[in-house]
Amino acid sequence: MINLKGRLQKVASMVDHCKKPADIGTDHAYLPIYLVQSGICPMAIATDIKKGPLRKAEKNIIRYHMQDKIELRLGDGLIPIKDDGCDVLIIAGMGGVLIRDIIEKSIDTAKKAKHIVMQPMYAEEALREFLLRYGFKIIEESLAKHEGKIYPVIKGAYDGIVREEDIFHLYIGRRLFEQRDPLLKEFLRKRIKRQDRVVQGMSKSLRMKEAHIKENSLLIDMKKAYDEITW
């Protein structure tokens, strides 16, 4: 049985039982191998835009005797699974803007999925903003720690309802507070440090004044939220 750690384990834990998930940008294929081995799904599709990662995926699929259960596809984003009826989509280990672009490019395929599990490495605010504006609900969020860094994992699904969100909760997901995520305080501490550097690095010229006020106000909100976390 394959052993997933930290980030990938958290992503896997947010995938519900399903018929045919697709792991987009699979690289090593650890995730679909785990999902099939643990009985979360009977089969899976694993895609990548590059041949190198797919060769790596193939080796692992053979190593774990999954050749008749995991199908490999070469191609960009959701395009290779357009007509496959995949009920769950997983897009992990990429930037939030790339995940957003992948979904936007094949929006009809994304809308049909029962849910999508996304794990942005950065720029998660761009992804949250897009999901809410395009009528996707954020069902659940969780934080995963990997090699000292903390990453959000976002589970969403299309329900057609456009939602507005304030800037602070685009950066630090609302569900993380509602679900009292155990890593939230540590995550916020790291984000405050980073945001502090952003604010300090900004010139206070008249031209930049508005941007400075915006970034500083985000920093104040982060500090306030940090102080209010009791768990």
Ligand X SMILES: C[S@@+](CC[C@H](N)C(=O)[O-])C[C@H]1O[C@@H](n2cnc3c(N)ncnc32)[C@H](O)[C@@H]1O
Binding mask 25-44 for ligand X (x = CB under 6 A): xxx-----------------
12, 14, 22, 24: which one binds ligand X (CB under 6 A): 24
Beta-carbon contacts of 34 under 8 Å, excluding residues fewer than 6 positions away, are 2, 4, 8, 12
Per CB under 6 A, the list member of 17, 50, 180, 197 interacting with ligand X is 50
Q: Is 76 in the site for ligand X (CB under 6 A)?
A: yes
* Terminal alpha carbon distance of the chain: 34
Q: By CB under 6 A, is residue 93 in contact with ligand X?
A: yes
Residue 49 or residue 123: which is nearer to ligand X going by CB?
A: 49
Q: How far is CA 51 from CA 17, 21, 26, 75, 89, in A?
A: 29, 21, 11, 9, 21
CB of 49 to ligand X, least distance (A): 4
Q: How far is the CB of 212 from ligand X (least distance, A)?
A: 33
Residue from 94, 13, 88, 81 nearest 53 by CA: 94
The answer to the question of residue 152 lying near ligand X (CB under 6 A) is: no
Sign (positive/negative) of CA torsion 150, 147, 130, 207? positive
Residue of the chain from 21, 32, 47, 169 that contacts ligand X (CB under 6 A) = 47
| Closer residue to ligand X in complex, CB, 92/154 | 92
In one letter, which amino acid is 167? I
Sheet with strand 44-48: strands edge to edge: 70-74, 44-48, 21-24, 88-94, 115-120, 149-158, 136-146
CB of 44 to ligand X, least distance (A): 13
**Contact residues for ligand X (CB under 6 A)?**
8, 24-27, 47-50, 53, 76-77, 92-94, 98, 102
